[in-house]
Amino acid sequence: GNVQYRSIGYKSPRFSKVYVTAGKSRPNFSARNTEYDLLIDAIAGEYQVEPALARAVVHVESAFNPYAYSPKGAMGLMQLMPATAKRFGVKPNDVDSMLHGQAKYMRYLLDRYKGDWAKALAGYNTGEGNVDAHWGKDGTGNGGGVMTM
């Protein structure tokens, strides 16, 4: 199924920003409407990540604001946590570096979860360990499509 990735409030403060669900449709992020779209498209293509997916993550995480910071310490367009940013070689406040880091991380997650967008997006937002704990490292678990921890 398709993946909806949206920002909502949720009961658990640990996972209050985003949840992922398998659904019948997903938001249309194919339209280009920001100064970053051509750069996002080029970098996403370089890492074989669907550009609409990369744009959706940027939209949800920061509303295309490269200076966004969360109370938990996530930063930039993709709201990467400092450890993740370091892991993927992201230079803070460098848009090009942030977009490369996001694409590298998303490619890593898509590979790790065998192309499953729901798991990749959940891993992006909550961390791979939480996804593994929820679905199991082999992709089993309740697998009901909604990560509700």
Active-site residue set: 61
7 forms beta bridges with 18
Of 149, 13, 88, give the one whose Cα is nearest residue 76.
88
Q: Is the dihedral of CA 5, 6, 8, 13 positive or negative?
A: positive
Q: How far apart are CA 29 and CA 18, in angstroms?
A: 17
75 forms beta bridges with 69, 80
Residue 106 near residue 49, CB atoms below 8 Å? yes
